[in-house]
Amino acid sequence: MSASPSFRLDGKRALVTGAGRGIGKTIAEAMAEAGAEVVLCARTETEIAQVAAALSANGHKARALPCDVTNVTGFAALIAEQAPFDVLVNNAGTNRPKPQSEVSEDDYDTVMDLNVRAVYFVAKIVANQMMAAGNGGSIMTISSQMGHVGAANRTIYCASKWAIEGFTKALACELGPHNIRVNTICPTFIETPMTKPFFEDKAFKDSVLSKIKLGRIGRVSDVTGAAVFLASDASALMTGSALMLDGGWTAD
């Protein structure tokens, strides 16, 4: 019998951006529980410090690294001081849903700066470190089902996530020879502190549920299994792919 693949992350160092709340926080917690040493990155130091402290109190390895990932120079300087990472979770992102006729230049710049520019350069900086270390690695970006379909009031967001899907495939081609895998996770609507107010609009919530074949809004815990899988050796042959967690939204 061949051995079953391991989903454990013992001995791996993982960097999670946007780790102070929502999806990023939950992924960081799951990776720590799977044995990884987790470094939590976000702008709000108090949030990531609380998460890191709670994980450490439970016997896990975790620490906070306050940083604004849109500050590429500052981020690069911080990473240069760190030991090499084995896993990167490019999670920090934002959205400003509105009709295209109402989108301002500030809306566009804010969404694209975090969802595309920061993701691109965070991946570059960490990947360069991974290549120098020569140990391989796993890079994942929290993308969206909206990187595969379109939706009204989401022209900027869709543009940003479609860009990330293309970037991921191209980067997977470049980093494959270095045994660095690059993938995306594509959730449907997940209830987080950022999205919860939208679901208070019954019409909006009903329209969302009408497209999710499983009939419910996603929970942050729905994303953690995919993240741990992509970080682990269980996904050793997976790169350049999009892992859909959309409850069937894109099935038709």
At residue 174, φ and ψ (nearest 5 deg) are -70, -40
* 118 Cα distance to chain centroid: 12
The answer to whether the beta carbons of residues 165 and 148 sit under 8 Å apart is yes
The answer to whether the beta carbons of residues 246 and 145 sit under 8 Å apart is yes
Specify which residues 121 forms β-bridges with.
none
The answer to whether the beta carbons of residues 176 and 220 sit under 8 Å apart is no
The answer to whether the beta carbons of residues 111 and 94 sit under 8 Å apart is yes
At residue 115, φ and ψ (nearest 5 deg) are -75, -25
At residue 57, φ and ψ (nearest 5 deg) are -65, -25
What is the rounded (10 degree) CA torsion for 117, 15, 87, 241? -40
SS3 (DSSP) at 17: strand
Catalytic residue (choose from 17, 28, 51, 157): 157
Active site residue 108: no
> What Å distances lie between residue 201 and 153, 218, 226, CA to CA?
15, 16, 29
Interatomic CA distance for residues 236 and 5, integer angstroms: 9
Residues catalogued as catalytic: 157
